[in-house]
């Protein structure tokens, strides 16, 4: 058996690698076990997020949005570009370069913090031992630690009626590596992953149809914001069909044929490519030996308390393998919290203020309670809404779609939810998260000076609108 560690982290995604770095910063002898391989078969840190999720998808979203704006919007600014075209190979190469730079950056951070990067598949054994199988399966070693952090991440959820098929039916990872723009692209699932991937390929020329089984679009978001987003997506050309349950699928004559059912009966569609984007599931298969006695729920999530402790003393679990939204920043904050707890410090994660973003055009972003949450609770609340159409910076940029919505407690005026749809909302949202973390009221935001002209002024005005004091929209007649 190798040298004992203070901490072994299993998994090197945003939860695991952040936990490992913070543990090392706190003076703990740390190892991180990870089995990820890049498209060339080389080891790479960063997990799904950096290698096949958050980062490559945002790189392609950014590139495709620039192309779409150049093709459709620049003329409105007086900029004419002749013979507009794009090179998909170069777009993909740029995406891959960004991924490589970031994953190599994590490797450098590991080296500077003297973290042992152990390549292989980790499996928790009894007594906080971790068995590591080499990437090629040829050998294994057993590590020991005082503490183990399980951060194995998640994987795309399968869909029995539509099995993946090389070249025709792909999951979210495959959708980020297509070698040509499909003429007609089908996507099963119109959640976060589906609409982001749909946006990329639609901007590059695909006719995109998204089939969503739920009757409501983005059920986790505020209804008003989701409805506005759906309207904007339709205006941009995304064909989102709600209440559409896929029944069967076959590949015929070089195309993918599917049948689905909605309130109007059964229908069929044919696509050049099909993406399955029906969500993700915890990557806990084979992660823990049965004799350990670790408690998992029926969906494969590891049971933890508010500090991410499992039922096994000295064993923690963070990120996508535990309850809560599968978001990189949530996993990272859990990693920092657990490192602090192991070191004997107080730490917490405020799960009421986990920001959520969908990086489409327009972007959707929110934090805190939705209006439907507040209605269901029966608690009194007030609402302020301000449209970007009344914002000077949005007018100047040429993108006035969307709005910002502020929800405040009806008795204390404390902000309990902020929801927005529009350009750069992923950045504006941070203002709301900070304000809510410090317990700000809508009046506090209304009394704060914002730079003019800026998109963030819409947040200021939405807060003023909670009490009917917005300056740049007409006052409602009583």
Structural domains in the chain plus CATH codes:
5-156+281-352 (3.50.50.60), 169-278 (3.50.50.60), 362-465 (3.30.390.30)
- Token digits for 337? 């919290």
Where in the sequence numbering do the catalytic residues fall?
452
Euclidean distance between CA atoms 460 and 473, whole angstroms: 13
What is the reported pLDDT for 372?
97
Euclidean distance between CA atoms 213 and 242, whole angstroms: 6
What is the reported pLDDT for 2?
58
Which pTM does this prediction carry? 0.95
Residues whose CB is less than 8 angstroms from the CB of residue 98 and which lie 6 or more positions away in sequence, other chains included: 55, 56, 59
Cα 406–Cα 409–Cα 413 angle in degrees, nearest 5: 85
CA nearest neighbour of 325 among 291, 352, 297, 290: 352
Query: Percentage of the chain surpassing pLDDT 70?
Result: 99
150-195, pLDDT tens digit by residue?
999 999 999 999 999 978 999 999 999 999 999 999 999 999 999 9
pLDDT, the chain, mean? 96
Cβ distance 189 to 260 under 8 Å? no
Helix, strand, or coil (residue 29): coil
CA nearest neighbour of 386 among 454, 451, 478, 470: 470
Cβ distance 6 to 96 under 8 Å? no
What is the reported pLDDT for 3?
61
Helix, strand, or coil (residue 290): helix
Euclidean distance between CA atoms 391 and 375, whole angstroms: 29
Euclidean distance between CA atoms 12 and 20, whole angstroms: 8
Within 298-407, residue ranges assigned H as helices are 328-342, 371-377, 392-397
Euclidean distance between CA atoms 304 and 288, whole angstroms: 15
411-455, pLDDT tens digit by residue?
999 999 999 999 999 999 999 999 999 999 999 999 999 999 999
Euclidean distance between CA atoms 433 and 207, whole angstroms: 36
- pLDDT truncated to tens, each residue of the chain (478 aa)? 556 899 999 999 999 999 999 999 999 999 999 999 998 899 999 999 999 999 999 999 999 999 999 998 999 999 999 888 899 999 999 999 999 999 999 999 999 999 999 999 999 999 999 999 998 888 789 999 999 999 999 999 999 999 999 789 999 999 999 999 999 999 999 999 999 999 999 999 999 999 999 999 999 999 999 999 999 999 999 999 999 999 999 999 899 999 999 999 999 999 999 999 999 999 999 999 999 999 999 999 999 999 999 999 999 999 999 999 999 999 999 999 999 999 999 999 999 999 999 999 999 999 999 999 999 999 999 999 999 999 999 999 999 999 999 999 999 999 999 999 999 999 999 999 999 999 999 999 999 999 999 999 999 999 999 999 999 998 876 5
What is the reported pLDDT for 135?
87
* 385, β-bridge pairs: 405
């Amino acid at each position: 058996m190798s040298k004992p560690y203070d901490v072994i982290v299993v998994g090197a995604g945003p939860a695991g690698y952040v936990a490992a770095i913070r543990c090392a910063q706190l003076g703990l002898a740390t190892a991180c076990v990870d089995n990820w391989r890049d498209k060339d078969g080389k080891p790479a840190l960063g997990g799904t997020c950096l290698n096949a999720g958050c980062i490559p998808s945002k790189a392609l979203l950014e590139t495709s949005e620039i192309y779409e704006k150049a093709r459709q919007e620049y003329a409105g600014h007086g900029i004419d570009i002749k013979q507009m075209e794009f090179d998909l190979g170069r777009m993909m190469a740029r995406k891959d370069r960004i991924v490589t730079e970031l994953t190599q950056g994590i490797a450098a951070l590991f080296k500077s913090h003297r973290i042992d990067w152990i390549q292989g598949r980790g499996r928790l054994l009894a007594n906080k031992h971790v068995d590591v199988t080499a990437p090629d399966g040829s050998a294994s070693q057993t590590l020991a630690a005082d503490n183990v952090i399980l951060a194995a991440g998640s994987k795309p959820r399968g869909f029995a009626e539509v099995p993946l098929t090389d070249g025709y039916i792909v999951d979210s990872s495959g959708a980020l590596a297509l070698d040509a723009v499909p003429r007609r692209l089908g996507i099963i699932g119109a959640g976060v992953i589906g609409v982001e991937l749909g946006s990329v390929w639609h901007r590059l020329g695909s006719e995109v149809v998204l089939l969503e089984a739920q009757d409501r679009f983005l059920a986790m978001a505020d209804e008003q914001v989701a409805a506005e987003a759906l309207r904007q997506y339709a205006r941009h050309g995304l064909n989102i069909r709600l209440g559409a349950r896929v029944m069967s699928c076959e590949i015929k004559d070089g195309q993918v044929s599917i049948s689905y059912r909605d309130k109007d009966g059964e229908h069929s569609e044919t696509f050049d490519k099909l993406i399955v984007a029906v969500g993700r599931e915890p990557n806990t298969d084979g992660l823990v030996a049965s004799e350990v006695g670790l408690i998992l729920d029926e969906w494969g999530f590891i049971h933890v308390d508010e500090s991410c402790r499992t039922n096994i003393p000295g064993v923690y679990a963070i990120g996508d393998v535990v309850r809560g939204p599968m978001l990189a920043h949530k996993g990272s904050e859990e990693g920092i919290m657990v490192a602090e707890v192991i070191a004997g410090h107080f730490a917490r994660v405020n799960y009421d203020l986990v920001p959520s973003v969908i990086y489409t055009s327009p972007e959707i972003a929110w934090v805190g309670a939705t209006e439907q949450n507040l209605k269901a609770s029966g608690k009194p609340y007030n609402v302020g809404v301000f449209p970007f159409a009344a914002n000077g910076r949005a007018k100047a940029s040429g993108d006035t779609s969307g709005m910002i919505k502020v929800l405040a407690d009806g008795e204390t005026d404390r902000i309990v939810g902020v929801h927005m749809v529009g350009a750069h909302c992923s950045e504006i949202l941070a203002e709301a998260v900070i304000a809510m973390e410090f317990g700000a009221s809508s009046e506090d935001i209304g009394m704060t000076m914002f730079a003019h002209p800026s998109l963030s002024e819409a947040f200021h005005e939405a807060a003023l609108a909670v009490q009917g004091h917005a300056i740049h929209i007409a006052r409602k007649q009583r």
